[in-house]
Amino acid sequence: MSEQARPVRRIPEATVTRLPVYLRSLYELAETRTATISSEQLAEMAGVNAAKVRKDLSYLGSYGTRGVGYDVQYLLFQMSRELGLTQDWPVVIVGVGNLGHALANYRGFGDRGFPVAALIDADPNRVGQEIGPLRIRHIDELSDIVGELKVAIGVVATPATSAQEVVDRLVAAGVRSILNFAPASVVVPDGVSLRKVDLAVELQILSFYQQRSLAESDADAV
C-alpha cells in the first residue's frame, strides 16, 4: 500500500532543463498582459521548435486548449509549481573570492526565490567581512548554518583545489543540491543533485567550433 495512485510523471532530463527557459518567456508574456500563447510563438521566444514545446509541456499535463493555445497565467502557475518555485530555497555561497563576491551581490538570486542566506569562506582574513547585509562566516560553521537557515542549495565558488572538500562538507551538512563554479570535476553521492558552470569549458567549446569554421572558410578560399 505504499504506492501512490497518482502517476508521478517522469519528466525527461532534457525537458527539465528547458522548463526554466519557457518560464522566463511566460514571465515576459505576463508582463505584456498576453492572455494566451501558442506553442509556435512560445517556441520562437524560447529559441526551440514548436513540436518540442508541445511535447515538453505535455509532460506537465494537458494545460493547453486546442485551437487556442496555452493560458499564460495558468501555465505560469503550473510550471512554477512543477519547478518547486512556490517556495524559497535558501542558498549558501561558499568561497567569496572574485566570483563569489559577484554572486553575493547579484540581485537575481533573491529576486527569484533563492535568497542568499549565508556567505562562507575558509580564509580567516575574509571571515567577518561584510557584504551587503551578510557577514562572511567560517567554513567550520557550515553545518550549523545549514541547519539553522534551512539551506537547500550550496553554491561552490572556491578554487578548484578545495571544491571536492567543500562539496563533501556541504553533503555532510545535509545539502542535496549543489551548483559548482569551480573548474574541477567533483563527485556527489546518489540522491544529491549537482550542476556545473565552468567558464573555461564553455570557452574551449567555443574555441573548437571557431577553429572548425575558420578551417572551413580557409578551405573554401583555396
Partner DNA sequence: GCATGTGAATAGATTCACAGCG
Partner DNA sequence: CGCTGTGAATCTATTCACATGC
In the list 70, 126, 164, 171, the residue contacting DNA (rule: CB under 7 A) is 70
Name which position in 21, 50, 134, 149 contacts DNA (CB under 7 A).
Answer: 50
Min CB(133)–its own copies separation in Å: 16
Instruction: Give the binding range for DNA (CB under 7 A) out of 6-14, 158-166, 178-186, 193-201.
Output: 6-14
CA nearest to 94, candidates 120, 128, 131, 127: 120
The nearer residue to its own copies, 68 or 214, going by C-beta atoms, is 214
The Cα–Cα gap between 87 and 172 comes to: 24
- Work out how close the CB of 104 gets to its own copies at its nearest, in angstroms, rounded to a whole number: 9
Q: In the complex with DNA, which residue's Cβ is closer, 37 or 136?
A: 37
Closest contact distance (angstroms) between CB of 66 and its own copies is: 26
63 binds, among DNA, its own copies, none (CB under 5 to 8 A by kind): DNA
175-180 long-range contacts (CB < 8 A, ≥24 apart) are 175/92, 175/146, 175/151, 176/152, 177/89, 177/152, 177/153, 178/153, 178/154, 179/153, 179/154, 179/155, 180/156
**Angle between the N-to-C axes of helices 13-31 and 72-82, in degrees from 0 to 180, rounded to the nearest 10:** 140
Burial, 201: exposed, middle or buried (Cβ in 10 Å; 0-12, 13-18, 19+)?
Answer: exposed
Least gap, CB of 87 to DNA (angstroms): 26
- Smallest distance, its own copies to C-beta of residue 159, A: 10
Q: How far, in Å, CA of 155 to CA of 119, rounded? A: 10
The answer to the question of residue 67 lying near DNA (CB under 7 A) is yes
Q: Which residues bind its own copies (CB under 8 A)?
A: 2, 4, 16-17, 19-21, 23-25, 45-47, 82-85, 89, 91, 98-99, 101-103, 105-106, 108-109, 112-114, 152-153, 176-179, 183-187, 191, 193, 195, 197-213, 219-220, 222
Q: Which three cell numbers stand for residue 55?
A: 511535447
Whole-Å CA distances, 192 to 20, 65, 113, 165, 189:
20, 37, 20, 15, 6
Would you say 122 or 131 has its CB closer to its own copies? 131
Work out what residue 134 binds among DNA, its own copies, none; the CB cut-off runs from 5 to 8 Å by kind.
none
Nearest alpha-carbon partner for 89 in 151, 176, 142: 151
Q: State the residues that interact with DNA by CB under 7 A.
A: 12-15, 37-40, 48-52, 54-55, 57-58, 62-70
